Amino acid sequence: MTFRERTIAILAHQPVDKIVYQPRIEHWYAVNKNNGTLPPRYKDMSLLDVYDDLRCSIRTYPWFNCCLKAQEDPRVKVETVTRDNTRITRWETPVGTIESRVTFTNLASHTEKYPVANSDDAKVMEYILRGRTWSFDYDLFEQNDKLIGDRAAPMIYLPRVNFQRLLIDIMGFEQTLYALYDDKPTVDKLVRTIDETDEQLLEVVCQSPVQLINYGDNLDHHFVTPQIYEEYILPAYLARSNKLHAAGKYTFAHWDGYIKNLLPYAQKSGLDGIEALTPVPQGDVTIEEIKEALGDVVLLDGIPMTCFLPHEPLEDLIAQTHKIIDMFSPNLILGVSDEPSPVCDIERVRLVAEIVNDLPPREED
């Protein structure tokens, strides 16, 4: 079987001859490429060349998310300028104007100002969302699908689900929580608007040739309590997954924060898999707790990122890799939780690939 065939089969709970290893080195590669610190072996390689050299599969979001195209209402004027590493985006609409400011470094970005700070801003955002439409670029898909080949199956991630989008993209954590307790009708109306306007996006995704759909939500129970999850996110997850499953898609969500209080929902949320669950010492859950919570839900990733740091004992990485494989296979797409740090030892990524490639073929159950 190819990486592509195995990836789909694992999420479909169909037999595979081997597990798949997808270490998600995009951030490691981009930071070191920008800083001129790629190891000599890789300095002239493209990202795909590095993956091929490591004998790994890939998560294909960078090549297929660009196929999802958002078009703004013609009455919405969007202007983006960058000054001193700060990107300023301004939306002018017939009902008002909102603005965001995001600063960038080689490592990360930081939102200094979110577009919505009050109920008047919320009305502007609702106008923008209700006027936005989505389409899928099939020509670009065919081009990138040919480029990726059998390295992996096409994947896309959706915009964050309702409340999580408020926290991270629209209002920010502090303002969202203040609004939740001081002006809940505004929060609820924004959530409804997001859910309703996502329907058109979901229709486009359902009709697309992409089978593997990620909810790129970055959940953390410090920001989303079980009560918030049950009121806002769980219904949206179930509705999304029901629609996508009916269209022959497989769904998985990105949960990469402190997650112990939300793990009980892993089997209740309509998901085929969960990506990036982060064990201790970075996260707050053990590998055993993850296994108990997931049951037959597929784990994507699993090996703690800390094992790939150059000062950590190499035997810990080897032991953790075998432990994850033994505990979760065949419901496993192996990777790094959350992803390799820019200062990780990339040869440790290669070592895991060698372990996986040396495993004997699986016997059919």
Whole-angstrom distance, CA of residue 79 vs CA of residue 90: 5
Largest Cα–Cα separation, the chain:
63
Q: Are 301 and 290 in contact (CB under 8 A)?
A: no
Selected residue with higher pLDDT from 298 and 107: 298
Per-residue pLDDT, averaged over 66-75, amounts to: 98
Whether the link from the prior residue into 310 is cis, omega within 30° of 0, is: no
Q: Are residues 187 and 335 in the same domain?
A: yes
Do 267 and 179 fall into the same domain?
yes
Of the three residues 59, 91, 117, the one that is the final residue of a domain is 117
Separation of alpha carbons 12 and 340, rounded Å: 27
Say whether both 222 and 92 belong to one domain. Answer: no
Question: Over 80: is that where the pLDDT of 62 sits?
Answer: yes
Residue 124 falls inside a structural domain: no
pLDDT in tens, 310-350: 999 999 999 999 999 999 999 999 999 989 999 999 999 99
Q: Is residue 265 part of a domain?
A: yes
Per the listing, tokens 């697309």 go with: 208
261/212 same-domain check: yes
Q: What is the pLDDT of residues 23-53, one digit of tens each?
A: 999 999 999 999 999 999 999 999 999 999 9
At 165 the pLDDT is 98
Asked if the structure places residue 262 within a domain, the reply is yes
pLDDT at position 364, please?
55
Q: Say which residue the tokens 């930071």 belong to.
A: 31
Same domain, 113 and 140: no
The residue range of the domain holding 92 is: 73-117
Say how many domains are in the chain: 2
Whether 16 and 157 map to the same domain: the answer is yes
Q: Is residue 125 part of a domain?
A: no
Average pLDDT value for residue range 139-144: 98
Cis before residue 361, ω within 30 degrees of 0? no
Cα–Cα distance measured from residue 182 to residue 296, given in angstroms and rounded to the nearest whole number: 41
Spatial contact of 152 and 22, defined as CB atoms under 8 Å apart: yes
The Cβ of residue 311 has, within 10 Å, a number of other Cβ atoms equal to: 7
Residues 41 and 96 in one domain: no
Contact 304, 290 (CB under 8 A): no
Residue 43 maps to which CATH number? 3.20.20.210
Per-residue pLDDT reduced to its tens digit, 219-274: 999 999 999 999 999 999 999 999 999 999 999 999 999 999 999 999 999 999 99
% of the chain beyond a pLDDT of 70: 99
9 belongs to a structural domain: yes
90 and 226: one domain? no
Instruction: Report if residue 198 sits inside a domain.
Output: yes
Answer yes or no: do 64 and 94 share one domain. no
Last residue within a domain, chosen from 91, 117, 143: 117
Is the residue at 148 inside a domain?
yes
Domain membership of residue 14 (yes or no) is: yes
Peptide bond into 121 cis (omega under 30): no
Per-residue pLDDT of 208-219, as tens digits, reads 999 999 999 999
CB atoms within 10 A of CB 47: 17
H, E, C per residue of the chain = CCHHHHHHHHHCCCCCCCCEECCCCHHHHHHHHHHCCCCHHHCCCCHHHHHHHHCCCCCCHHHHHHHEEEECCCCCEEEEEEECCEEEEEEEECCEEEEEEEEECCCCEEEEECCCCCHHHHHHHHHHHHHCEEEECHHHHHHHHHHHHHHCCCEEEECCCHHHHHHHHHCCHHHHHHHHHHCHHHHHHHHHHHHHHHHHHHHHHHHCCCCEEEECCCCCCCCCCHHHHHHHHHHHHHHHHHHHHHCCCEEEEECCCCCCCCHHHCCCCCCCEEECCCECCCCCECHHHHHHHHCCCEEECCEEHHHHCCCCCHHHHHHHHHHHHHHHCCCEEECEECCCCCCCCHHHHHHHHHHHHHCCCCCCC
Instruction: Count Cβ atoms below 10 Å from residue 149 Cβ, excluding itself.
Output: 11
Same domain, 158 and 254: yes
Q: Is 222 found in the same domain as 83?
A: no
User: Domain boundary at 117, 142, 176, which?
Assistant: 117
Alpha carbons 244 and 135: distance in angstroms, whole number? 16
pLDDT the model gives residue 105: 87
pLDDT digits (tens, 9 = 90+) for 84-123: 999 999 999 999 999 999 999 888 889 999 999 999 999 9
Same structural domain for residues 98 and 230? no
CB 237 within 8 A of CB 198: no
Confidence of residue 363 (pLDDT cuts 50, 70, 90): low
